[in-house]
Amino acid sequence: MAVITMRDALNDALREELARDPDVFLMGEEVAEYQGAYKVTRGLLEEFGAKRVIDTPITELGFAGLGVGAAMAGLRPIIEFMTFNFSILATDQIINSAAKMLYMSGGQFKIPIVFRGPGGSAYQVSSQHSQALESWYAYFPGLKVVMPSTPADAKGLLKSAIRDDDPVIFIEQERMYGMKGEVPEEDDFTIPLGVAEVKREGTDATIIARSLMVPAALKAAEELEKDGISCEVIDPRTIRPLDIETIVQSVQKTNRVVIAEESHPFCGVGGEISAEIHEQAFDYLDAPVKRVSAADVPMPYAKNLEQLAIPDFLQIVAAVKEVAYV
């Protein structure tokens, strides 16, 4: 296995899929000549040319809709948002066009498109550039939502997302682009969408975490091990459709749950997972499900305030102790 960064794993996935299927093209702000605002698309213009790696004007609604239209006519667009914060401008096309087209056309027009880019918190970029939007997109039937937490997952899931026939919201984490990990070198390595992974096995409590919170949860699990508390860490990887079976199986074993997320708590994905656990595994719970979320405030700029807004492993440790009554 090669040890590479999340950025390079994503770059490999894009390169392999562009090479594999001539209907795939990549479009977004600064993806071509600038080589990507976060260098995820480095080298792709040179390899695939300006027909397939396309710089756009700053016109998110326009190029998101252009992508959906191109998908209606048989192409497989990858639309990069420089950050998902800017996807807010494109939500009409993502929600009203991409998510609903297959249904309202009575099954005639599938939309095989990937909207991808970094989401969640960055470093001191304040309120408009640091937010987690997965609960918005996961709300809508018709969309799939994927959030990788390792370079291997990033590569395998992105390749599957590009091959999927439905619109996929693929949210990377800006703080994780430089994170290194092992990625299988096998030909055509993919990971199916909709399948959670147990990132660490344990017996006393289940921590459900995604994206940036997965490394935090694993670190918390290590800390808790020292206190004799064995934690299972589950990464759903795909938020919609959610692999609730894997989560429920774990809850049946550990009877205690902490959900860690860097999004706002209110109407969030954590709330949904908690509700599903209550509906499907209530009798197995020995304590109320506990959420660890971002502060319910817009992201502040000041470094100390920002640190207070984003959950860290210590909060997860405290939450596990709370549900374990220790």
| Identity of the residue, 61 or 287, whose beta carbon is nearer to other proteins in the bound complex | 61
Taking CB under 8 A as the criterion, the residue among 11, 41, 56, 274 binding other proteins is: 56
Single out the catalytic residue among 17, 29, 60, 134: 60
Whole-number Å distance between alpha carbons of 6 and 301: 26
What's CA 153's distance to the chain center, in Å? Answer: 10
| Identity of the residue, 165 or 182, whose beta carbon is nearer to other proteins in the bound complex | 165
Taking CB under 8 A as the criterion, the residue among 164, 172, 197, 232 binding other proteins is: 164
| Identity of the residue, 51 or 226, whose beta carbon is nearer to other proteins in the bound complex | 51
Work out whether 102 is an interface residue with other proteins (CB under 8 A).
yes
Q: Which phi and psi angles does 140 have, rounded to 5°?
A: -95, 120
Whole-number Å distance between alpha carbons of 130 and 306: 10
SS3 for 163-216 is HCCCCEEEEEEHHHCCCEEEECCCCCCCCCCCCCEEEECCCCEEEEECCCHHHH
264 is catalytic: no
Work out whether 69 is an interface residue with other proteins (CB under 8 A).
yes
Q: Considering the complex, what minimum distance in angstroms separates the CB of residue 316 from other proteins?
A: 28
Sheet arrangement for strand 238-240:
53-55, 24-28, 76-80, 114-119, 168-173, 144-146, 238-240
Taking CB under 8 A as the criterion, the residue among 3, 47, 59, 314 binding other proteins is: 59
Taking CB under 8 A as the criterion, the residue among 101, 207, 214, 294 binding other proteins is: 101
Whole-number Å distance between alpha carbons of 116 and 153: 15
Work out whether 96 is an interface residue with other proteins (CB under 8 A).
yes
Work out whether 66 is an interface residue with other proteins (CB under 8 A).
yes
| Identity of the residue, 91 or 315, whose beta carbon is nearer to other proteins in the bound complex | 91
129 is catalytic: yes
| Identity of the residue, 77 or 181, whose beta carbon is nearer to other proteins in the bound complex | 77
Whole-number Å distance between alpha carbons of 326 and 312: 20
Answer positive or negative: Cα dihedral of 215, 146, 44, 164: positive
Taking CB under 8 A as the criterion, the residue among 1, 46, 49, 103 binding other proteins is: 103
Single out the catalytic residue among 129, 197, 261, 262: 129
Sheet arrangement for strand 231-235:
197-200, 231-235, 205-209, 257-260, 290-292
Q: Considering the complex, what minimum distance in angstroms separates the CB of residue 326 from other proteins?
A: 36
| Identity of the residue, 25 or 170, whose beta carbon is nearer to other proteins in the bound complex | 25
Question: Site residues for other proteins, window 201-260 (CB under 8 A)?
Answer: 241, 243
Work out whether 107 is an interface residue with other proteins (CB under 8 A).
yes
| The pair of three-digit structure tokens given for residue 265, joined into one six-digit string | 């708590």
Taking CB under 8 A as the criterion, the residue among 7, 129, 144, 200 binding other proteins is: 144
| The pair of three-digit structure tokens given for residue 8, joined into one six-digit string | 């390079």
Q: Please check whether residue 96 is in contact with residue 140, taking contact to mean a CB–CB distance below 8 angstroms.
A: no
Active site residues per annotation? 60, 129
Q: Which residues bind other proteins (CB under 8 A)?
A: 25, 51, 56-57, 59, 61-75, 77, 92-93, 96-97, 101-110, 112, 141-142, 144, 164-166, 192-194, 241, 243
